[in-house]
Structure 1
Amino acid sequence: MLRYFGFSVGLTAAALVTAVWFGGPAALLAVAVLGVLEVCLSFDNAVVNAKVLRRMSPFWRKMFLYVGIFIAVFGMRLFLPIVLVSVTAGLSIPEVWDLALTDSAAYAENVEAAAEAIYTFGGIFLLMIFLNFLFDEEREIHWLAWLERPLAKAGKLPYLAIVIALAVIYLGSQLADDDKYATVLASGLAGLFTYLLIGGLNELMEAPEADEGADDISAEGRSTGSGTATGTATKAVAGAGLAAFLYLEVLDASFSFDGVIGAFALSSDIFVIALGLGIGAFWVRSLTIYMVDKGTLDQYRFLEHGAMWAIGFLATIMILELRFHISEYVTGLTGLLFILAAVASSVVTQRREQSAEPVGDAEVVEEVGAGRR
Structure 2
Amino acid sequence: MPPPPDPLEEAESLLSLLSRARAGDTAAFDQLVAHRRRQLHAHCYRMLGSPFDADDALQETLLAAWRGLAGFESRSALGTWLYRIATHVCLRLISQRPRRITSPDHGAPLLATAELGAPVAGPVWLEPLPDDDERHPQALGIGTRAEDPAATLQRREHVALAFVAALQHLPGTQRAVLLLREVLEYSAAETAEMLGTSVASVNSALQRAQKTVNERMPPAHSVQLLGAQPGNDEQVQQQLLLQRFVSAWERRDIDAMASLLAEDARFTMPPLPAWFNGRRHALLFFAERVFQTAWRLQPLRGNGQPGFACYMQQAGDDRFRPGGVVLLRLGGDGLIASIDSFIDPAVCRRFGMAEEIF
TM superposition score category, shorter chain reference = under 0.3
From the two aligned structures, give the one with the greater strand fraction.
Answer: 2
From the two aligned structures, give the one with the greater helix fraction.
Answer: 1
**Superposition TM-score, scaled by structure 1 size:** 0.25
Higher relative contact order (CA 8 A, sep 6+): 1
**Superposition TM-score, scaled by structure 2 size:** 0.26
